[in-house]
Homo-oligomer: A and B are copies of this chain.
């Protein structure tokens, strides 16, 4: 298997922008990634498009007017993990020698939904009872607070960190820092989760050029390699379930770390799936950044801020950069690459990271056990 490098990155701003079409957003991101890689569109040998709700042949519709046709184009749907799964597909094509240079992009336009939580299948018995995403994460938060003594203030701190990072990210959906008081004053969505503790829906696109050609990916600060990509699905248990931990993320991360030959202790930067503030604490633990119940301490001690030991969600995360489903996993990867290159400007983390992780998870029975979780390990090489 060959090494897979990230040669180019590009993304649109995230936000509710009904005037931008899926095609326009996708094209903006793809063009930016090609420009960053310094290659022509004719250098691309295959394309992988992540999209959830955009309809038939989204990838082809984006690429058609760019004249990027006559090659394999695939569309991948895996709920919140779609973007990371498209990265996995593109990386596999390069690793196995099917292609030398490919484009992977994700695009979503959620503003068409008119707001609110994502549409879930009401054939699901728990969803039909009202267990939509905010309700489920609220239950998880209450249980987590009960078990580990976390307080509302810990959730507030996560939201303040996310908005602070987002304020420094020119593509973020929310580009204004908020105070703890503002978070506490935001309206209750599902107790204890207030509005600023819940990620927004939005529109956006993100694209990366992956290549076997190391020279193409070379940058002065870092040449970034996709060290591993893991995809798993939940066990979909019904009845009693442990709500304060995330078995699926634990399992997926274990596979990703093993394939990359790294351990959780090596991780120097992380973009994780903070769909709700409580998720950040739980996924710190599931990704092995700390022990079970140790998530609060990381936040209280500022370990996951831009200046901390393991910066988490420097982009602002889902809570602040935003969550345009198909684009999210790729936007996470772009943030890690940008930080590894030392090119993140005002939000540049204190120490250039060598190993970074992206994490997406979502879709499924009441959010308790997800349909798809993807963990990608990135490595800065010379």
Contacts and interface: CB of A to CB of B under 8 A. Distances in A.
Interface string A47-71: 0000011011110110110010111
A235 interface: yes
A324 interface: no
Q: What is the oligomeric copy number?
A: 2
A98 B255 CA distance: 12
A111 interface: no
Given A52-B56, A60-B371, A233 B92 contact: no
A361 to B, nearest CB: 12
Interface string A257-295: 000000000000000000000000000000000000000
A231 B72 contact: yes
Contacts of A364: 57, 60
A232 B77 contact: no
A75 B78 contact: yes
Nearest to A96: B96
B92 A96 contact: yes
A76 interface: yes
A233 B71 contact: yes
26 contacts: A21-B123, A56-B79, A56-B119, A56-B363, A57-B78, A57-B364, A60-B233, A63-B233, A64-B365, A64-B371, A69-B234, A69-B236, A70-B233, A70-B235, A71-B233, A73-B233, A73-B371, A74-B76, A74-B85, A74-B231, A75-B76, A75-B78, A76-B76, A92-B96, A92-B98, A96-B96
Interface of A: 1, 21, 23, 52-53, 55-58, 60-61, 63-64, 67, 69-79, 85, 89, 92, 95-96, 98, 119, 121, 123, 231-236, 251, 363-365, 371-372
